[in-house]
Amino acid sequence: MNLFNTQRYSHDDRLTLDGATIRLRVDARASRVSLRIDQAKREVVATAPTARRLPEAVAFARERAVWIAGQLVRLPDATALHPGQVIEVLGAPCRLEAGTGRARLYAATNDQPMRIVAKADDRFAAAVARLLKAEAKRIQETIDGLEARIKDISVVVDSGALNITKTHTGNFTQGSTGNTYTVLSNLFSGAWEETMETTVGIMHA
């Protein structure tokens, strides 16, 4: 007896099982058939290593129907994004507002909270979601860039190639102000120069 349904399935096919949506996925990196819950889309993803094993993934989903129902019940209620709603972005309140054109993010001001303004139509929620994803990607790229720069600094210091020189102008006397130091470093591919003013306190023996 054939244990699996002989129906042919393809990657990204969807089927319904006891009211639950099952999305089929082929992943050559997978070593076995597996199931997971996609909370964002509120659906089940059944993964198989090859397309030939997709019927096995479907059969496995049917065997785990009770488990699937229990997992979906535990999902938090989905709340559609809409104008007037206040959500949390980067730990701060952010108000969603109706506007025109592409979705835009505005930083908080003294009299206004952070705001996202998007065109008020049936694609409002999708536009806000895309903007939030793009902002999250931008922040992650910034963090990655900073981590790379920190790593470069460590390499320069460890190699003993870090050179720092300083010069100053003016006559330095105790308590004088406006004295200028220039600090020059050879970090990275070019030179970094920082000029600062200071108040001088000279210790006498």
23-27, 53-57, 167-171: least confidently modelled range: 167-171
CB 104 within 8 A of CB 98: no
Cβ atoms within 10 Å, residue 5: 13
Burial state string for 145-164 with b = 16 or more CB within 10 A and e = fewer than 16:
eeeeeeeeeeebeeeeeeee
Please write the tens of the pLDDT for every residue from 59-91: 999 999 999 999 988 877 666 788 888 988 888
Band (22; pLDDT cuts 50, 70, 90): very high
